Amino acid sequence: MEKDFDKWNTEKKNVDAKIINTELFFYAREIWWCSAGLNIGVEANGKHENFERPMLIVKKFNADMVWAIPLTTQRKSNKYYYKLNHENVKSWVVLSQIKTISAKRFLRKVGSISEADFKEVILRLQELLKIESPLAGAFSEAEATNT
């Protein structure tokens, strides 16, 4: 499939020019349709005119920025995905694609996931983010502590 990066670039300029609505409230556990964009390789792309994709907010830093994780409806079963049943729609949180996004990307709220599902997403994300040794394979432990 040919990607129309020029079309996304035009839309990206519109998204960037948006003024964040000060009455826009969003919180962790919520799913929002966001202008995710047209991305590179296996990164999750947005769809339709706004290059949109549903994303789960996992951490709100301030009124302008969050960590969000894209969702997919393609069935996946491994440690990088977590299955959600939200409003009778099966979707999978793509844990490996967590990203920092601007609130300017928010289009419309879908709803919130259950506290139990959110807790499981966070636990799986924490497990995924554990790095035994950031220099694994590059140096011995003694060399790593002396650098």
State the chain's mean pLDDT as an integer.
Answer: 83
Provide, rounded to the nearest whole percent, the portion of the chain with pLDDT above 70.
Answer: 83
Establish how many alpha carbons lie within 13 A of residue 88's alpha carbon, considering only the half-sphere containing its beta carbon: 0
pLDDT of residue 135: 66
54 to each of 44, 93, 129, how far by Cα in Å?
10, 10, 22
The dihedrals phi and psi of 61, each to the nearest 5 degrees, come to -90, -40
Q: Is 111 left (phi over 0), alpha (psi -120 to 50) or beta?
A: left
pTM for this structure? 0.79
The dihedrals phi and psi of 85, each to the nearest 5 degrees, come to -115, 100
Residue 30 exposed, middle or buried by CB count within 10 Å (0-12, 13-18, 19+): buried
For residues 136 and 144, what is the distance between their CA atoms, to the nearest angstrom? 9
Q: Where are the domains of the chain?
A: 5-145
**Least confident stretch, 9-18, 80-89, 109-118:** 9-18
* Residue 46 binned pLDDT confidence (cut-offs 50, 70, 90): confident
Q: Which is more confidently placed, 88 or 118?
A: 118
pLDDT at 144 over 90: no
For 5-145, CATH gives 2.30.30.110
Residue 25 exposed, middle or buried by CB count within 10 Å (0-12, 13-18, 19+): exposed
